[in-house]
Structure 1
């Protein structure tokens, strides 16, 4: 899995999709990637809440639902299209100049919010090419992150809380009023691809249909 190659990076910056999930997120993540084409020119960074001592099987499980390479993040990795990157237990992840940077989690000060941290850095680095997706989970991690995504001109999707195993994160994210789309995970890929193809037209269409 980790040694598979992604699509070569292009001269034009591609869309980077940050996916935040916590409790109950595995099913949502699998449903999302089961419906996501393997070659679409997008990169995916999955940020979960993981116990420091937990051996995540996400790479193995996800590989059953997608043919995209699934990579565990290593410090300094360049983000390439058509590839899925997974957070490492006990680490936080940020992105700078299209590279993934790892830092040890610090639990001595405040509660650790890895999704907010990553999405804020993604917003600053990718700007209008940033997409933030919030899936099942408890608490409010991701809410500040999607605010940053919108401030820099990116797009936000939130799981329809009625389809989430745990609705805390989707509910808090949706309550900001900043979500461009609220959908079940299996319907997100089609909407995401429509947006990437025609960003302005897709958001305008959503605006008029919801108005």
Structure 2
């Protein structure tokens, strides 16, 4: 039986437009998408409904202990950190005393040890280096890493952190990423 594929997207400042460009060009292809972002903890996020306007598949906000299904987009809610256990997404309250938001690294690190899915990790526009440690772990465990082309990002530091790490397999504008995702899924399936 072919292993399922999960596409993990990490985004922060300026990442909303990148997510729109990505999902404007994504078709139903049997994979699952999980979005981890830096959201304001005390404001209800509208990201799920905003992305739904650009996606050809269902977009839903993650709830506690969510089973991951194909052809769905899962969006982490505000004021949470998220990990994966098997084929389920697990939420925990975010510790607001920790000022630096590491939500992407936390989720990506949990993905690195996951054996239920082939992983494609994508880092989009954002400030800081969140996601870089997580992509290193995913790459070392056989995952594919895609970084946003910095010139197409509103905030370059997150994708540049991935590129500077030397672990980016592909550096692309968001609208070009879905085509590479399809190629990478085929490569996983051909192994």
Query: Normalising by the residue count of structure 2, what TM-score does the alignment of the two structures yield?
Result: 0.94
* CA distance in 1: counterparts of 2:120 and 2:72, whole angstroms: 15
Query: Contact between 2:118 and 2:188, CA under 8 Å: does it hold in 1?
Result: no
Structure 2: distance between partners of 1:176 and 1:84 = 28
Equivalent pairs counted in the alignment come to: 190
- Greater strand percent: which structure? 2
Alpha-carbon RMSD across the aligned residues, in angstroms, is 1.7
Which runs of no fewer than 5 residues in structure 1 stay unpaired? 1-10, 202-211
Measure how far apart 1:66 and its partner are.
1.3
Is 2:29 the partner of 1:13?
Answer: no
Off by >4 Å, runs of 4+ in structure 1: none
Choose the corresponding residue for 1:78, options 42, 45, 67. Answer: 67
Partner residue of 1:160 out of 149, 163, 176: 149
Q: Give the structure with higher Rg (CA).
A: 1
Alpha-carbon deviation of 1:200? 9.2
Matched, 1:24 2:14: yes
Distance 1:137 1:110 in 2: 16
Equivalence for 1:180: 169
The 5-angstrom pairing of residues 1-211 of structure 1 reads 12-37=2-27, 39-109=28-98, 111-126=100-115, 129-199=118-188
Stretches of structure 2 that go unaligned for 5 or more consecutive residues are none
